[in-house]
Structure 1
Amino acid sequence: MTAKCVMVLGTSSGAGKSWLTTALCRWYARQGLKVAPFKAQNMSNNARVVASPNGLGEVGAAQYFQALAANVEPDVRMNPLLLKPEADTHSQVVLLGEVNHALTHTPWRGRSEKVWPHIAASLDALRAENDVVVIEGAGSPAEINLMANDIVNLRVARHAGARCLLVTDIDKGGAFAHLYGTWALLPPEDQARISGFVLNKFRGDASLLAPAPEMLQALTGVPTVAVLPMWWQHGLPEEDGVFDDRSLATGVVTRTVAVIAYPRISNLDEFQPLKNVPGLRLLWARSPADLAGLNAATDWVILPGSKHTSSDLAWLRAQGLDAAVAEHAQRGGAVLGICGGLQMLGEALIDTLGIDGNAPGLGLLPLVTVFAEDKTVLRTDARFVQVRGVWSALSGVSVRGYEIHHGQTQAHAAMAAAGVVPHEAMPGLTWQNEAGNVMGSYLHGLFDDPAVLHALFGAQTPTLETVFEGLADYLDQHVAREVLQDLVA
């Protein structure tokens, strides 16, 4: 078996590559084909725990969802290289699911030839096992300053013999210039790989686009194969986990959940299910003003995961958000910390190895976190025991999630000796304060679990299966079936 390869390229980041790749994975799987996703290199702090040669490893969240859409078990070959930004000029390098310290400290231009054999081997293995591999590019393939070291766009397309779609975000304006300019900057042999242009996020009367598609085809020889209408509520997390502030709750808003948006925020895709809870408004909080109007009786503050906890904690203090979070908690408002957010809620971050950094915590939980060199990467099945306060409905609920963290957290010894101890709502994973309104957990993926959503909100939200089927139906409505068939003919 040697799979046919379809590749989704974009004129820019945010053009729609990830969701279109996911939709294609489900569409081809519905045709009875064995399908796998692939992205050679992903830069994202949104990761999931999947199968790896050594047990478990990390891949970008987008490839995790694409694998589920394709009805296959996600594994690290689907995203062999993951870059997790820790600062503006530095990323942790994860190769085949595991942190690679040597590559992390290798300059970018010297890294490509070291990782290419692993990328090629992963792609070749997936091709040998499947009928179709749907490949996602990164950014734009026409970054001429990066072409010599490219390992994610044109080099992958050539290696796979892929037929490519080039998608652009027409909502940003200049879509035809973006498509033509991208195509024009490609070498002639790569221009020939572009089988169709896709206009994404279109609003208005499609007939008004004429004669631009025809003129573009006359210039390039490439047809515009799809005009995809704007679709805010498809239900799939964005690749970088960013939810759009224009997508508000359906119906009357009865609860607001404010997620603190610090610079090194991670694993935001896990909050996507909250967008689908009736009456719940999900919003970013970047300043104290964003928390000022919260109702302590109904509204929550969430401190999400962080790729660099001490830096994000320093940012939070610089904005004055530390006092705003504490004030919400003091009024009895619900505060939830997940992973890095949990670590921030404690008394102190202790780092003797230079992993993350030392810092005093927010002091809302009597805990201390000590950073360790080895990263914890686990799939976790756990059960809430007795849960206090606003989270009490979770008592006895079993949940499946995942852990990705360096720190190890325990009770503050001196405070415990004085009688101030955290309440363990989930042994070794989740802790609460005495009042029960502040809770921190190492378990990612809580809101992916229908039992948790039902316990907390009495709500049933669309399942991932429903989302994937909706994406495939959307392609059926807006892309000619023969176009999709020809790509793998």
Structure 2
Amino acid sequence: MTARCVMVLGTTSGAGKSWLATALCRWYARQGLKVAPFKAQNMSNNARVVGATAGNQGGEIGSAQYFQALAARAMPEVRMNPLLLKPERDTHSQVVLMGQVSEALSALPWRGRSERVWPTIVQALDALRAENDVVVIEGAGSPAEINLMASDIVNLRVARHANARCLLVTDIDRGGAFAHLYGTWALLPEADRALLSGFVLNKFRGDALLLSPAPEQLQELTGVPTVATLPMWWSHGLPEEDGVFDTAEFGAGKTVAVVAYPRISNLDEFQPLKNVPGIRLRWARTPSQLADADWIVLPGSKHTSGDLAWLRAQGLDRAIAAHAARGGAVLGICGGLQMLGEALIDTHGIDGNAAGLGLLPLVTVFDPDKTVRHRDACFGAVGGAWAALSGVAMHGYEIHHGRTAEHSAMAAAGDHALPVMNDGLAWQNGAGNVLGIYLHGMFEDPAVLHALFGATVPTLDSVFDGLADYIDTHFDAGVLRSLID
């Protein structure tokens, strides 16, 4: 078979490409079609672990493509996101090709990578096209970034290769949506304009009848119809693909403050907390945002020592220490666990040396090998604020450099970190209020959510069906089917 390809382009980052592509994956899967997602290059520190498939290693892909695969009722795999860029600093990213870190590509200039990786991207896309009825492709940023067109490997070059039927989505809530759509169309090469099958207005608030005659005028100028006006939808339930949520807080009740440092990673794993009754989720960047928190969470980080330095510069280290001294609950996940220890030791130039926060008597030593794997694990006897986790089995995943162990001198003096999970995956302090764990995915595990909150949240499958229902309602009749006819 040779799949029909439907591609979602955007006028900007954050326009709604990822969630629309996810909705399309489920919509086409519900038509009885075999569907796969694809994004040639993703830049994100939100990544998921996928297993090996025939002829392909396992490894890391962007979280958005992981969720899109689940929406498509397909097994997530590395071909769905062959190139993943994980920013470590403003001018440097770790390059992950077909699931594996490539030091050689990481050292190349941005534009120097394109021709090196394009054959791999084509091979991955063509293989998916050969095995599926529909491939839903997501672009990146905007296809009209004319400074990047010559080295493009994720937008127009992919659309041409796949002869994709393209939707161009814009965020009308920001204002200037029609200018964004027209400007993007105008900057595209004439041959590429022919690939555009429809404009999509996303995040609209108000009476859609008031938009006229703008969609009609835009079609007269471009020949492209506006095929959907999607109302603002705050609680669709899909994790955000990039960046911290724009709104500072969600919900009401017990406050869980997640420290939002610059290189935060895997923030999408906190999405379920938005849906737990009685929980207020807060992204914290200042000490005042921690002052009344019940729990403080240090999430994963793509550059642990750098984010630790930022945290100190904001005075957040003192606020966290004061919270812990009062007996307040503190949780560190992956890089956050490493921060809770006494020291970060780096002799290979992986992340950097740094003093830790000193809330757990642990030391992390970075090494060149990166741990990337799924894990099934079980909490042992857990005390204090986290006692409800005792005996709870969970499924999670590891993505980290570094190995963490007790601080030998402190242990010899009687100051021990208490292991609460086998294989060095989790520790807590003697008082029981500070817990560190290497596994991502705690708050996505139903058993953990029930133990901590007595709550159940909507399943991802119900979220995907809700997205498909939404576009089915708001797209013009027949459009979604016509894209693959």
| TM-score, normalized by the shorter chain, greater than 0.5 | yes
Q: CA deviation at 1:54?
A: 5.6
- Please name the residue that 2:273 is paired with: 274
Of the three residues 198, 201, 204, the one matched with 1:199 is 201
8 Å CA contact 1:16, 1:167 repeated in 2: yes
Of the three residues 415, 438, 447, the one matched with 2:434 is 438
* Amino acid corresponding to residue 383 of structure 1 in structure 2: C
Residue 304 (1) aligns with residue 299 (2): yes
8 Å CA contact 2:298, 2:332 repeated in 1: yes
- Please name the residue that 1:211 is paired with: 213
Select between 214-223 and 45-54 the one with higher mean Cα deviation: 45-54
8 Å CA contact 2:62, 2:84 repeated in 1: yes
* Amino acid corresponding to residue 299 of structure 2 in structure 1: P
- The CA distance in 2 between the partners of 1:175 and 1:244, in whole Å, is 19
8 Å CA contact 1:232, 1:247 repeated in 2: no
The C-alpha deviation readout for 1:409-464, integer Å capped at 9, x for no partner, is: 00000011111111111121000000110000000011110110000000010110
- Please name the residue that 1:475 is paired with: 471
Q: CA deviation at 1:289?
A: 1.0
The C-alpha deviation readout for 1:32-87, integer Å capped at 9, x for no partner, is: 00000000000000000002456420000000000000001000000000000000
* Amino acid corresponding to residue 97 of structure 2 in structure 1: L
Indicate how the Cα distance of structure 1 residues 205 and 247 shifts in structure 2: closer, same or farther if over 3 A, else same: farther
- Please name the residue that 2:406 is paired with: 411
The C-alpha deviation readout for 1:2-53, integer Å capped at 9, x for no partner, is: 0000000000000000000000000000000000000000000000000245
Indicate how the Cα distance of structure 1 residues 241 and 386 shifts in structure 2: closer, same or farther if over 3 A, else same: farther
Q: CA deviation at 1:212?
A: 0.2
Structure 1: runs of 5+ lacking an equivalent: none
8 Å CA contact 1:237, 1:243 repeated in 2: no
Select between 391-400 and 33-42 the one with higher mean Cα deviation: 391-400
Q: CA deviation at 1:238?
A: 1.0
* Amino acid corresponding to residue 339 of structure 1 in structure 2: C
- Please name the residue that 2:359 is paired with: 364
Q: CA deviation at 1:243?
A: 2.6
Q: Secondary structure at the match of 2:478?
A: helix
**RMSD after superposition:** 0.9
- The CA distance in 1 between the partners of 2:343 and 2:248, in whole Å, is 37
Q: CA deviation at 1:303?
A: 0.3
Q: CA deviation at 1:124?
A: 0.2
8 Å CA contact 2:196, 2:224 repeated in 1: yes
- After superposing on structure 2, the runs of 4+ consecutive aligned residues of structure 1 that deviate more than 4 Å are none
Q: Secondary structure at the match of 1:181?
A: helix
- The CA distance in 1 between the partners of 2:355 and 2:250, in whole Å, is 35
- The CA distance in 2 between the partners of 1:302 and 1:397, in whole Å, is 20
The C-alpha deviation readout for 1:364-390, integer Å capped at 9, x for no partner, is: 001000001010001000001111111
* Amino acid corresponding to residue 264 of structure 2 in structure 1: I
8 Å CA contact 1:241, 1:269 repeated in 2: no
- Please name the residue that 1:115 is paired with: 117
- The CA distance in 2 between the partners of 1:349 and 1:111, in whole Å, is 32
- Please name the residue that 1:10 is paired with: 10
8 Å CA contact 2:244, 2:283 repeated in 1: no
- Please name the residue that 1:104 is paired with: 106
Indicate how the Cα distance of structure 1 residues 423 and 416 shifts in structure 2: closer, same or farther if over 3 A, else same: same
- The CA distance in 2 between the partners of 1:56 and 1:412, in whole Å, is 33
Q: Secondary structure at the match of 1:125?
A: helix
* Amino acid corresponding to residue 276 of structure 1 in structure 2: N
Q: CA deviation at 1:245?
A: 1.8
8 Å CA contact 2:21, 2:137 repeated in 1: yes
- Please name the residue that 2:264 is paired with: 265
8 Å CA contact 1:369, 1:410 repeated in 2: yes
Q: CA deviation at 1:391?
A: 1.0
The C-alpha deviation readout for 1:149-189, integer Å capped at 9, x for no partner, is: 00000000000010000000000000000000000100111
- The CA distance in 1 between the partners of 2:168 and 2:272, in whole Å, is 29
1:33-432 residue pairs with structure 2 within 5 A?
33-52=33-52, 53=55, 55-240=57-242, 242-245=244-247, 248-249=250-251, 253-294=252-293, 299-427=294-422, 428-432=424-428
Matched pairs, number: 482
Q: Secondary structure at the match of 2:351?
A: coil
- The CA distance in 2 between the partners of 1:247 and 1:66, in whole Å, is 26
8 Å CA contact 2:57, 2:99 repeated in 1: no
- The CA distance in 2 between the partners of 1:316 and 1:244, in whole Å, is 20
- The CA distance in 2 between the partners of 1:481 and 1:360, in whole Å, is 60
- The CA distance in 2 between the partners of 1:468 and 1:104, in whole Å, is 34
Select between 240-249 and 342-351 the one with higher mean Cα deviation: 240-249
Residue 485 (1) aligns with residue 481 (2): yes
- The CA distance in 2 between the partners of 1:244 and 1:272, in whole Å, is 13
- The CA distance in 1 between the partners of 2:127 and 2:70, in whole Å, is 19
Percent identity reads 77
8 Å CA contact 2:248, 2:282 repeated in 1: no
- The CA distance in 2 between the partners of 1:408 and 1:65, in whole Å, is 29
* Amino acid corresponding to residue 390 of structure 1 in structure 2: A
Structure 2: runs of 5+ lacking an equivalent: none
- The CA distance in 2 between the partners of 1:399 and 1:55, in whole Å, is 24
- The CA distance in 2 between the partners of 1:241 and 1:434, in whole Å, is 35
Q: TM-score, normalised by structure 1?
A: 0.98
* Amino acid corresponding to residue 261 of structure 2 in structure 1: Y
